[in-house]
Amino acid sequence: MGPAVTARATPRERGVHTGDVAVEVLANHVAVIEIRRPPNNFFDAPLIEEITEVLDELQVKDAARAVVLAAQGKHFCAGADFAGTSGAAEVSPDEGARALYAAAARIFRAELPVVAALQGAAIGGGLGLALAADFRVASPESRFSANFSRLGFHHGFGLTVTLPRAVGAQHAADLLLTGRRIGGEEAYRLGLVDRLVETSEIRSAAVEFARELATAAPLAVRSIRKTLRAGLADEVAKATEHERSEQAWLRTTEDFAEGVQASAERRDPLFTGR
């Protein structure tokens, strides 16, 4: 991916691993933020908060003009780890979701363009995280699913807003209501993915995409992006509050318990509508 830029870079920017997120600033004004919770890279509020802090640091410095959001291991992100969403030893699931979505909404306020490198699966909240980026690079072997309905649950991470923006209202309804899984080729046809390459080339293709963005005039890029994403962060914040409230009552249903158990047992759920 090229040599790291060390001039005027903070320890975090020079590639120092901090917690479960690492960042490296490459040549040509591209930064790579890497999630390090392989193989599935489940996220929680502290991890999302750390990503936003890195984005905040990068956008006030001259070294980075575009960002690649990547992850170690087999999958980009298989969803949220609600057991760890608050950073506290004991927290209710609803409090954990509230902390998580407050952190998630901050990503949409970042000023630098972001390209997500999506190897393996982006499932549930992992799909929501992928859609927080401006662009997505994947391979035919990549997999995507807003699988919430198959868990007896409601979607989150602002998918109410971001998924229709990416694929259109009708395709979003299909994906959310069925919870079906799609591969990289269908995701590309729907507009969920912007570049489709071989699996081994996902990271390098995402970096090259980011370099294209970084080559353009940085003030103009930020200005155009601000226009294109006007109001998006506020829409996501409002949407996640509604998503969280729906999740709260669905979490108490028998169908949710069945959906979670069926998923753990790798079988089809038997929902009863209770």
Look at residue 138 and tell me whether its pLDDT is greater than 80: yes
Look at residue 178 and tell me whether its pLDDT is greater than 60: yes
Give the per-residue pLDDT at 9: 41
pLDDT interval class at 13 (50, 70, 90): very low
Give the per-residue pLDDT at 4: 36
Mean pLDDT value of segment 97-123 = 94
Mean pLDDT value of segment 148-157 = 97
Q: For 157, which DSSP code?
A: T
CB–CB of 119/75 below 8 Å?
yes
Give the per-residue pLDDT at 86: 43
Q: What percent of the chain has pLDDT over 90?
A: 81
Give the per-residue pLDDT at 96: 83
CA-based diameter of the chain, in Å?
61
Look at residue 12 and tell me whether its pLDDT is greater than 80: no
Distance, in Å, from the CA atom of 156 to the CA atom of 235, rounded to the nearest integer, reads 13
Q: Residue 238's Cα: distance from chain center in Å? A: 18
Convert the pLDDT of each residue in 186-197 to its tens digit: 999 999 999 999
Distance, in Å, from the CA atom of 95 to the CA atom of 244, rounded to the nearest integer, reads 10
Give the per-residue pLDDT at 90: 63
Q: Extract the runs of DSSP E, i.e. beta strands, from the chain.
A: 14-18, 21-25, 30-35, 66-71, 114-118, 121-123, 135-138, 143-145, 181-183, 195-196
Convert the pLDDT of each residue in 217-261 to its tens digit: 999 999 999 999 999 999 999 999 999 999 999 999 999 999 999
pLDDT interval class at 57 (50, 70, 90): very high
Look at residue 85 and tell me whether its pLDDT is greater than 70: no
pLDDT interval class at 18 (50, 70, 90): low
Give the per-residue pLDDT at 236: 96
Beta-ladder partners of 35? 21, 71
CB atoms under 10 Å from CB of 80, counted, come to 27
Task: Quote the mean pLDDT of the chain.
Answer: 90
